[in-house]
Amino acid sequence: MKDLDNFEKKIGYDFKNKELLNKVFIHRSYINENHGKIKEHNERMEFLGDAVLELSVTRFLYDKFPQKTEGDLTAIRSALVNTDSLAKKAEELNLNDYLLLSKGEKDSIKGRLHILANTFEALVGAIYLDSDFDKANEFLKKYLFDYVEEIVKLKLYKDPKSYFQEKAQENNGATPKYKLMGHKGPDHDKIFVMGLYLKEELIAEGESSSKQKAEVEAAKNGLEKKNWV
């Protein structure tokens, strides 16, 4: 395990129980590959962190958007705590640098976002266990809640494909089409690249582990490129 002192300085929280922090970065696959050396992985802590995260985010959104309906608040919350959002924040904190994974998981592209998102949740759970809800909430205010501005501005809480189609028909009188541009990586771990077209014009591209998800990413990128927000 790498020295975590710098990580604690980065997040602005000094763990009283260092073992809690160590456990944040232990993936189940590492234990399976290193029998007997380490006995506990981060999944129970992730389970706890998920609950802390939901309550913290719910209260934050309730206070921040007093005029929004329950439906909109639910959609925004979902966008803020989904795998892509949490993985993005995990990458900003360089959680990947400290993860203990099996060789197979290290080489996997598809599973990486899911693992990073789970590790972020485990970190929230660890801070809660080491202190209290307020400290975990402070961490989330500092490292997650700011993303809500982008989510609301770009309307990422709405279905991006449906929203792009609505705007395309409204502004261009055209229905968007998606085409496979290619793929990356080995056959067992492909990343698909989908192009978003209006008539014959390529508007944007998106990449993900499935064609459907790549289309969603292309729609998000298209909304931003066309400034349809």
Closest by Cα among 82, 151, 146 to 117: 82
Catalytic residue among 121, 130, 215, 217: 121
Closest by Cα among 61, 27, 33 to 152: 61
Active-site residue flag, 121: yes
Catalytic residue among 8, 33, 43, 50: 50
Which alpha helices (DSSP H) does the chain contain, by range? 5-11, 18-24, 28-33, 43-64, 70-81, 83-92, 103-107, 112-130, 133-143, 147-153, 160-171, 211-226
Quickly count: other Cβ atoms within 10 Å of residue 157's Cβ. 21
Active-site residue flag, 166: no
> Which positions are annotated as active-site residues?
50, 121
